[in-house]
Structure 1
Amino acid sequence: MPDTHRVPAGTPLTPGTGRIKISDRIKLPALISGEGNLRRKYDALGGAAALGEPVSKEEGKIWTFANGSCLCYNPDMFAAFEIHGDIYAKWLALGGMAWGIPCTDETGTPDGVGRFNHFNANTASIYWTPATGAAGIWGLIREKWAQIGWERSALGYPVTDESGTPDGVGRFNHFSNAGSVYWTPGTGAHAVYGDIRARWEAMGWETSYLGYPVSDEVDFAEGGRANEFQNGGIYWWSDTGAIDLRDVVVHYTGLYCFGETDWDQSSSADEPYVIMGVTSPQVATVHRSGIYNDVDAGESRPDLIEVYRGRPYGMNICAVVMENDFGDPDKYKEDIQNVVMGVHAAGTLALGLIPVVGPVIAAVAGPALKTLMPSIGGAINNALNLGDDRIGSSSITVSAKQMVLLAARTPNTDFHGIGYKVESGLVSGSGASYKAYFGVIPA
């Protein structure tokens, strides 16, 4: 196909093609040639009186001037644009025409503070303010900055050019309001700022155990804010400050007997076990302890069973205490699992949580967890025929904020050899009374 070039209406065209060959461009009016457009822009800006005479020319591409400015021709837009001052100096430092061809003149920002030129079909920019100087921003980092509101966002103005991270994997720009946007091929571009950014910086940025951000800073449960990272998160509330945390692990840590059953027909002591339905906005699981033999009032049975591992987005634990007399413990566990899965699926769908990911899920689900998740305990009690083996059940709701604080800042309590951070209510029935205990630790 012959090399062609679009031309303004009214230009004579090669018959039958609607286009004109590049080789014929010398026949076009000076209006659309690079040199002609440069001359028109020069005259429009005031010519020699404003800019002086050009000190160098690259025919049809760029005119430079002694006052620290230039005119560049953009062949895709059939127009010439002006760059000057600190933005011009930054443009030269970044590589000049090899880095980017301007697609705007220098222009004032909407807030009246800064100045900018856009480049390369509006995919790169240089921004300047008196306080920050000139900085280059481009690509997906620039897209993220634009998405959240340019200089009027929480980030402010760029204060660094886009730069590579020390590990050689990522790219970043820092901004004037103590904010940054970080990008890697695997994570995309995400904004982090304020106290959360300060915490991440103190930890060593991307070289910390957290790695790179995989979300922007977003609303979190109970009035908090959060960024999710590759290997954990940083969570902030006004009364706690910023807390970094890997995933959270919850263990069932044991059972204590406050009083044994008065109807056990097979022994003078109880043989209890615990079935636990564990639900979060994203997952639901069911676990069963072993059967504890010969448990009398005032005795504890320490244990250690992992019942949850994941992000601290809030959870509910329904602990069902059973006496091993008549039924099959594994069959009861299966029946409870069916109820838990059904109620959880219906509840999360009703909340619209299915398409929600990341820290946002905790903010969305938090208020509903206290009413939705305990309904699983009611469903277990109402829907199943557990016969005489059931002593009772208790539901524990742990909010996202509580999960963070329990894992990161709360020491264990010891009760008769059982270490715990969360305890069930008193589970009573048929004369017996028990409590189940749970630990919450960082992964």
Structure 2
Amino acid sequence: MYLHGTSKINAKGHLEIGGCDVTDLAKEFGTPLYIVDEALVRGRAQEFMSAFRQTGLRFQVAYASKAFCVMAMCRVAEEEGMSLDVVSDGELYTALKAGFPADRIHFHGNNKTPEEINMALDANIGCFVVDNFNELHLLNALAADKGKTVNVLLRITPGVEAHTHDYISTGQQDSKFGFDLGNGTAFRAVETTLGLANLNILGVHSHIGSQIFEVEGFRMAVEKVAAFAVEIREKLGRTFTVLNLGGGYGIRYVEGDKPLPLGVYVNAIADAVKSVCADANFPLPEVWIEPGRSIVGDAGTTLYTVGTSKDIPGVRKYIAVDGGMTDNPRPALYESKYEAVLANRANDSLEEVVSVAGKCCESGDMLIWDLNLPKVESGDLLAVFCTGAYNYAMASNYNRIRRPAVVFVKDGQADLVVARESYDNIVGNDLLPARLRKEPVSK
């Protein structure tokens, strides 16, 4: 059994996270329940910040809020000295509502609406990461209307394909994101930006994918992006002051996943930047990165209650839990793998192999196939590890299932940071036109 962060098995044989017995958490907050190990989140952030300080480079570590965006997480990111990247008005609103400093917010996205751009302009955010020519001209016009000049990075696709799932590879030429480096589009984008009076280009951004376990892809991306910066200086006379290398640093979900220490990724990026810049006599830029999963992924655990079971002799045994693809769609989307334990009987001997089904009305609502567990009984608590990233963020109300609560645990204290949805939340935006309303029966 591999336990992350502050997780351990206590004297009662129960899983304990952040000094809190999860059986007590289940009684207090119900299940399904997202449990976040706050100390582990802060530790991951501190690893990145410390590693960069040791490189001597100017830097920003921006938490990629798409991984898990709630006000409490924005506050933690700020307290740890991080910047923040957002990709929607909802994420921006959450950050601002939490009091996150606007000048440390970077706005991403391949289709920002005028309303989103105006919202970000009014908040005076630190930087827009521009994805296409339409956005360049729209942003310039809206900034001009407000009498503002705004900082931008241009997102480029460097032609580096990470060794990851096709759906989460983004640096290759055939991508919905960014200006292509190989066919000259990125160069034209810089030329265009330099001609727009209300945009101040700081540099470029690239992101090669997610859940990456090696550094070679990052080195290649740095070499291509830095070479592009040198070309821009030579041909257009503009010296970039920022290179943003994105995120994508992998975590351990299951046995066989072998993520590198976070400092290894940072040092590889820093060494490549220093080397390329020295060779080209290019001034060292400020380096930005955008970790998300590697900050929160293995700090999250989802706690379920086991309900029914179905044993098909000679085929498999299913157990069903009170959540599923509504709180964790990743297995259905990416065939993602997870590990889990019976949280209330963690020391019991393993006796059977089961497959964990969710409660949604979909055959594809499966969380884990072929999991070794003690003899499972209705009412047992199943803890699924490494659900901190892209689980709550992608949760839905399919089948009108209410989204779970979220608690932060640290030093024996559990704080509710997202309340469980109520039935009124479920119907809160529903409207009945007059013709469909049920009128009182007249006597």
TM range (shorter): under 0.3
Considering only CA atoms, is the larger Rg found in Structure 1 or Structure 2? 1
User: Higher helix fraction: Structure 1 or Structure 2?
Assistant: 2
| TM-score normalised per structure 1 | 0.23
Specify which structure has the bigger relative contact order, considering alpha-carbon pairs within 8 angstroms and separated by 6 or more residues. Answer: 2
User: Higher strand fraction: Structure 1 or Structure 2?
Assistant: 1
| TM-score normalised per structure 2 | 0.23
